[in-house]
Amino acid sequence: MQSLLGFEDLKSTIEELGDTSAATHLKLNLAGCDPDDGMNDIAYEKGHFLLLLIEKSIGREKFDAFLKSYFHRHAFGTITTEQFLAEYKSEIIKGDTELEKKININEWVYKPGLPANCPSVSSEKFQKVAHEVELWKNGAKANTLSTKAIQRMSGCVSLDCFLKNCPMIK
């Protein structure tokens, strides 16, 4: 559910900034800029989906081993994007050109927008709420709708999902 909310935030931020904007790169050039100008959902959400793609491409076990090794080597420290990419190539890619093409990390890091190989996410709970919203939009009376899906979700999340789709709010 959190990934889906993050994906929606990411799409919204990319739309707001423009899908060809350099501000949607994972690696930003902030020379001469206020660093706060680079603070948006891109680094967190686009980065999240890149890591999810890597995990799905190599498997959870290998991904966990990489993360454990990475955190051990860099505990309480920082590295540059280029240092991370070098480790990525040596620890994850290991010369596998098919895997390198599949992930295409340079598109994620240095290109604008959302790459075509972004993993898809879904939420059964959101789908149930969306189904009820569609019924309502198509004329179903409110007292005939199933509210179980909405009640089972976190209050603010389900209400937000419902209100964003409410025909009277738009």
Same domain, 55 and 138: no
158-167 per-position pLDDT tens digit: 556 555 655 5
Same domain, 139 and 78: no
Cβ-based burial of 9 (10 A; exposed 0-12, middle 13-18, buried ≥19): middle
Which residue segment(s) compose the domain that 17 sits in?
A: 2-110
For the segment 61-75, the average pLDDT, to the nearest whole number, is: 96
Question: In whole numbers, what is the pLDDT of the chain averaged over residues?
Answer: 86
Looking at residue 131, its pLDDT comes to 80
pLDDT band, residue 130 (cuts 50/70/90): confident
For the segment 13-26, the average pLDDT, to the nearest whole number, is: 93
Does some domain include residue 131? yes
Looking at residue 93, its pLDDT comes to 98
Total number of domains in the chain: 2
Does some domain include residue 14? yes
Looking at residue 126, its pLDDT comes to 74
The share of the chain scoring above pLDDT 70, in percent, equals: 86
pLDDT band, residue 132 (cuts 50/70/90): confident
Same domain, 82 and 152: no
144-156 per-position pLDDT tens digit: 887 776 666 555 5
Looking at residue 170, its pLDDT comes to 47
Same domain, 62 and 31: yes
Same domain, 9 and 92: yes
Same domain, 96 and 147: no
pLDDT of 26 over the 90 cut = yes
Long-range contacts of 27-33, Cβ-Cβ distance < 8 Å, separation of 24 or more: 27/81, 27/109, 27/110
pLDDT band, residue 66 (cuts 50/70/90): very high
Does some domain include residue 26? yes
What is the total residue count of the chain? 170
Does some domain include residue 105? yes
User: 10 Å Cβ neighbour count for 36?
Assistant: 8
Same domain, 91 and 7: yes
Does some domain include residue 39? yes
Same domain, 10 and 35: yes
Domain at 29, CATH number: 1.10.390.10
Looking at residue 142, its pLDDT comes to 79
Same domain, 79 and 104: yes
For the segment 8-14, the average pLDDT, to the nearest whole number, is: 91
Token pair for residue 45? 């959400």
Distance CA 121, CA 4 (A): 6
Does some domain include residue 137? yes
Report if pTM > 0.85. no
Same domain, 37 and 73: yes
Same domain, 94 and 133: no
Distance CA 149, CA 30 (A): 44
- Lowest mean pLDDT segment, chosen from 54-58, 87-91, 100-104, 164-168: 164-168
Task: Report the SS3 class of residue 103.
Answer: helix
Does some domain include residue 16? yes
Distance CA 26, CA 81 (A): 9
Does some domain include residue 116? no
CA dihedral sign, ordered 9, 11, 16, 22: positive
Integer angstrom CA distances of residue 131 from 3, 5, 123, 127, 149: 20, 17, 12, 6, 10
Distance CA 63, CA 77 (A): 20
